[in-house]
Amino acid sequence: MSNPIKFAYWVPNVSGGLVVSDIEQRTSWDFEYNKKLAQIAEKSGFEYALSQIRFTAGYGADNQHESVSFSHGLLAATTKLNVIAAILPGPWDPALAAKQIATIDHLTGGGRISVNIVSGWFKGEFQAIGQPWLEHDERYRRSQEFIESLKGIWTTDNFTYTGDFYRFRNYSLKPKPLKVPEVFQGGSSRAARDMASRVSDWYFTNGNTVEGIKAQIDDIKEKAAANNHQVKVGVNAFIIARETEEEAKAVLAEIIAKANPEAVNAFGHAAKQAGAASPEGEGNWAKSTFEDLVQYNDGFKTNLIGTPRQIAERIVALKAVGVDLILSGFLHFQEEVAYFGEKVLPIVRELELERLAKAA
């Protein structure tokens, strides 16, 4: 099949799961749980896993394992899965990150480690660990230099680079990665889309309606074409697949009914404050309601909630507007990832083939 849509899942290496709710979540942040989850995901047809980076507790996430180390552990426990390690410019320097990731690439056979460059939105986190806090667009300018430095180090001998944040002179990394890692990034602001259209291989966006996602993709693809660059798009979605639509909607209603108002509002305040500081005065969560914010990345908005067929049809509709990857979260990760692989993914592939046949 040409260009099948890909699937990733959020690695729950942070406590509290993917929703800020007191509903039961049969998901754990410990390594043994995550190792088994990675093996289930690989077997179920997931191509990618995205580990999270967080330095401070909050919003129901009191504990968190470091992303790069955790990603290496998951790669060692699997054979095909590509694990995306989140890296935050500031605490990380590109010289260290490039060498660290290149080494993991060699230790795991090549081609299965990627990076997600996180520009950061939480001022309190930077202050807590003693890192300077840059204004919105400056953070993206630094991230662009970070990505250019990574790619330069990974692909060039005698790499020389003169930026405002990073400088290199005749630097040759040895050994280089066996395969150049893919670079992901997130964000919905103008600065985020502009950066993706210039340097990133993948762009993650928060959950949204098909129409909202299409508008973002059209914008970013147009900008990328003007830069003679290509970027693929991943969309966040919280998936609730059940045998009936009523059952799935009841789970969503229970998640929201048992939300932790204090934690949700604290997260919403910090996220919207960060967006308001951007030149256009809005960011990822500018239009998010309380119910949307119960899932950190607006995952309910994508509406992959219903029966396996309903979800599969919506995924294929997202693919039709240019989505290349679904970044998924689940309530009970191990069992629901397995259910998705057994019940939903086969219908997606069937619908993709039907569309391909109609287009031929």
What is the pLDDT, as a whole number, of residue 239?
98
What is the pLDDT, as a whole number, of residue 122?
83
Q: Hey, what are 340's tokens?
A: 């998705």
Return the beta strands (E) in 38-145 as ranges. Answer: 48-50, 82-87, 113-117
Q: Minimal CA–CA distance to 9: which of 45, 46, 40, 39? A: 46
Evaluate whether 15 touches 64 at the Cβ level (below 8 Å): yes
According to DSSP, residue 352 is labeled H
Site of tokens 């009914």:
257
Q: Hey, what are 20's tokens?
A: 């800020």
Per-residue pLDDT of the chain (360 residues; tens, 9 = 90+): 668 999 999 999 999 889 989 999 999 999 999 999 999 999 999 999 999 998 886 666 789 999 999 999 999 999 999 999 999 999 999 999 999 999 999 999 999 999 999 998 888 889 999 999 999 999 999 999 999 999 999 999 999 999 999 999 999 999 999 999 999 999 878 899 999 999 999 999 999 999 999 999 999 999 999 999 999 999 999 999 999 999 999 999 999 999 988 778 776 766 666 655 666 666 566 677 888 888 878 999 999 999 999 999 999 999 999 999 999 999 999 999 999 999 999 999 999 999 999 988
| Alpha-carbon span 153 to 174, nearest angstrom | 10
Q: Hey, what are 28's tokens?
A: 């754990």
Kind of pairing between the strands at 305-306 and 159-162: unpaired
Structural domains in the chain, CATH included, are 6-359 (3.20.20.30)
| Alpha-carbon span 70 to 324, nearest angstrom | 25
Q: Is the peptide bond before 175 cis (omega within 30 degrees of 0)?
A: yes
**pTM of the predicted structure, to 2 decimals:** 0.93
Evaluate whether 344 touches 304 at the Cβ level (below 8 Å): no
Evaluate whether 158 touches 189 at the Cβ level (below 8 Å): no
| Alpha-carbon span 218 to 221, nearest angstrom | 5
Cα distances (angstroms) measured from residue 206 to each of 148, 160, 211, 235, 309: 24, 35, 13, 6, 23
Neighbours of 226 (CB within 10 A): 10
User: Strand, helix or coil at 263?
Assistant: helix
| Alpha-carbon span 201 to 30, nearest angstrom | 30
Q: Hey, what are 119's tokens?
A: 């520009």
Evaluate whether 118 touches 84 at the Cβ level (below 8 Å): no
Residue 348, judged by CB atoms within 10 A of its CB (0-12, 13-18, 19+), counts as buried
Compute the C-alpha angle 329/330/335, nearest 5°. 135
Residue 241's DSSP bridge partners are 306
User: Strand, helix or coil at 262?
Assistant: helix
Q: Which residues have a Cβ under 8 Å from the Cβ of 259 and sit 6 or more positions away?
A: 19, 20, 21, 22, 290, 291, 294
Q: Minimal CA–CA distance to 13: which of 58, 49, 59? A: 49
| Alpha-carbon span 307 to 329, nearest angstrom | 16
Q: Hey, what are 49's tokens?
A: 């896993």
